[in-house]
Amino acid sequence: MSDQDRGSLQQLMAGLAHELNTPLGAIQSNRDVLNRAVARISDILADGVVDDEEIEHVRSLAQTISEVIEIDQVAVDVIAQLVASVRNCWRPDEHEKRCVDLHRGIDSTLLLLRHELKNRIKVEKEYGKLPPVFCYPGQTNQVFMNLLLNASQAIEGEGKITIRTYEKDGHAAVEISDTGSGIESDSIDRIFDSGFTTKGTRSGMGLGLRICREIIERQGGAIEVESTVGKGSSFRVTLPLGGCEEVAGDL
């Protein structure tokens, strides 16, 4: 793993930790509320005699407990989604191709990058109809992760990332476009070179792009890029369709 990739992974993990802190903080706060509510109900019942006012108080506490449990369930669901996204994006599948939904992989990646994108970058999804793609899911999701992270780093201040998917000429296509700084024309042909970086043109360039291309080309696909300085860049990943029918027939 290169220093750039390691730094980006650390940045991603920091963002993930921040995302986990929010639901965990809610659960911890609600634990105190539940403890107080249960203690109060125990005190009321310990008296042996419960009047109408205390009954109403118990009902109110029961409603509070119900609401807190509902909030905790939402928090647990958020944590489960984050964990599922990590497992979906990083799985030991280097030697195992599977039929996967590319949209699901992209959505999982966006969830992991939420801390990096929110309040600054708007994400627009223009998903077309795509059949399952026979590919290495973990590696393919890492390509999406790198491209989305590069797109976010290319945008200074507020901006937009558009993700468009469609089927063309027997291939599934995923276009990731940004409204960032763009790439100089004399750098376009070198962005996939090992260790290539630019200064002042696109922050984070060289973030595993060579490896991204190798991953996609190894699966019979391709990565193409178009860019205009001052307007932004668009990376298009294409992967061949087919293969899932044969897999289904073997089951």
Question: What pLDDT, in 10s, does the model give residues 220-248?
Answer: 999 999 999 999 999 999 999 988 866 54
Given this model, what pLDDT does residue 172 score? 98
Q: What is the reported pLDDT for 206?
A: 42
| Residue-wise burial string across 52-76, b where 16 or more C-beta atoms lie within 10 A, e elsewhere | eebeeebeebeebbeebeebbeebe
pLDDT attached to residue 145: 85
Is it the case that residue 50 has pLDDT exceeding 70?
yes
Name which residue leads in pLDDT, 58 or 128: 128
Whole-number average pLDDT of the chain: 82
More confident residue, 165 or 85: 165
| Model confidence band, residue 126 (pLDDT cutoffs 50, 70, 90) | very high
Task: Give the CA angle between residues 165, 170, 175 to the nearest 5°.
Answer: 25
CB 197 within 8 A of CB 154: no
**With contact defined as beta carbons under 8 Å apart, do 244 and 132 qualify?**
yes
**Mean pLDDT of all residues in 88-99:** 68
68's CB contacts (< 8 A; 6+ apart) are 30, 33, 34, 37
DSSP state of 199: S
Looking at the domain 98-248, which fold is it? Heat Shock Protein 90 (3.30.565)
Strand partners, 125: 163
Query: What does the pLDDT look like over 166-191, one tens digit per residue?
Result: 999 999 999 999 999 898 888 887 88
pLDDT band at residue 89, thresholds of 50, 70 and 90?
Answer: low
Q: Which pairing describes strands 133-135 and 171-178: parallel, antiparallel, or unpaired?
A: unpaired
